[in-house]
Amino acid sequence: MLPIWRTSQQDDINFVPEETRAYRAKAQRVYIAIFFASIIFFELLIFATVSFFKLKEEKTKTSLASQVEQLNAEWQKQSGKAAALNTIKINLSTYKTFSAADPLLREKIFKIIEIVPSGVTLTDLMIDSSGGVELRGNSKRPNDLYQMMNIIQAKSDTFSSVDLSSFAGGSDTEYTFSLSFVVK
């Protein structure tokens, strides 16, 4: 009768020859070594891949940061020009509005331009609707301003109520002035 339950005292009967058992044990050790070696290989492969993509992303980030910096510098250059252009647009709009209200404005401006000598630079020109003009500007020589005053006074049929409001010499040998008169 065969026992149903095995006891610890019974020995296993193994019909596999000893060389086959040794070969299987050796093969099992080789398979285990290959398994762990492949796990280590795949871990190293994953680590290398992650490192590669991380370096690539850092390079891309640096490149994008450089491009953003260049674009910001370009924008800063253009913003000054855009602000100047915007000021010109506003001044042109003001001129158009004012010239619509006073159709003779253009003629008055040309009369004023004719009296300004080449050595005088105008910094501010204000004209009111009654023809009153206030000029502010710079002159390198006081003679240029004196010449302009003489021209205005000589053209009494075009200009009246001439008044030199201020005249000051600067440290850069540039004189500033403020002049008012009426264009007829």
180: part of which helix (H) or strand (E)? strand 175-183
- At 146, which CATH number? 3.30.1360.100
Report yes or no on 126 lying in a domain. Answer: yes
Question: Does residue 91 sit in the same domain as residue 141?
Answer: no
In contact, 112 and 133? CB cutoff 8 Å: yes
Which range marks the domain in which residue 74 is found? 16-101
Place of tokens 């200009």: 159
Report yes or no on 7 lying in a domain. Answer: no
Residue type, 78: Q
Question: Does residue 92 sit in the same domain as residue 108?
Answer: no
In contact, 80 and 101? CB cutoff 8 Å: no
Report yes or no on 163 lying in a domain. Answer: yes
Residue 81 scores a pLDDT above 80: yes
Residue 171 scores a pLDDT above 70: no
Task: Report the C-alpha gap between 9 and 73 in whole angstroms.
Answer: 90
Question: Does residue 107 sit in the same domain as residue 76?
Answer: no
Question: Does residue 92 sit in the same domain as residue 107?
Answer: no
**Average per-residue pLDDT for the chain:** 86
Residue 1 scores a pLDDT above 80: no
Report yes or no on 29 lying in a domain. Answer: yes
CA distances from 170 to 25, 136, 141, 148, 173 (A): 105, 14, 11, 19, 5
> In which order are the strands placed within the sheet that holds 120-127?
120-127, 132-139, 175-183, 159-169
In contact, 119 and 146? CB cutoff 8 Å: no
- Given 37, 72, 101, the domain boundary residue is 101
Q: What pLDDT score was predicted for residue 172?
A: 67
Size (the chain), residues: 184
Residue 44 scores a pLDDT above 60: yes
Q: What pLDDT score was predicted for residue 53?
A: 96
pTM of the model: 0.44
Q: Which of 90-99, 117-126, 147-156 shows the lowest per-residue confidence on average (mean pLDDT)?
A: 90-99
Question: Does residue 69 sit in the same domain as residue 124?
Answer: no
Task: Give the count of domains, the chain.
Answer: 2
Q: What does the pLDDT average to over 81-98?
A: 87
Question: For residue 174, which of 147, 145, 152 has the smallest C-alpha distance?
Answer: 145
* Eight-class DSSP state of 6: -
Place of tokens 């000893």: 18
Residue 131 scores a pLDDT above 90: no
In contact, 164 and 179? CB cutoff 8 Å: yes
Over residues 2-43, the pLDDT tens digits come to: 556 555 555 567 777 888 888 999 999 999 999 999 999 999
Question: Does residue 57 sit in the same domain as residue 122?
Answer: no
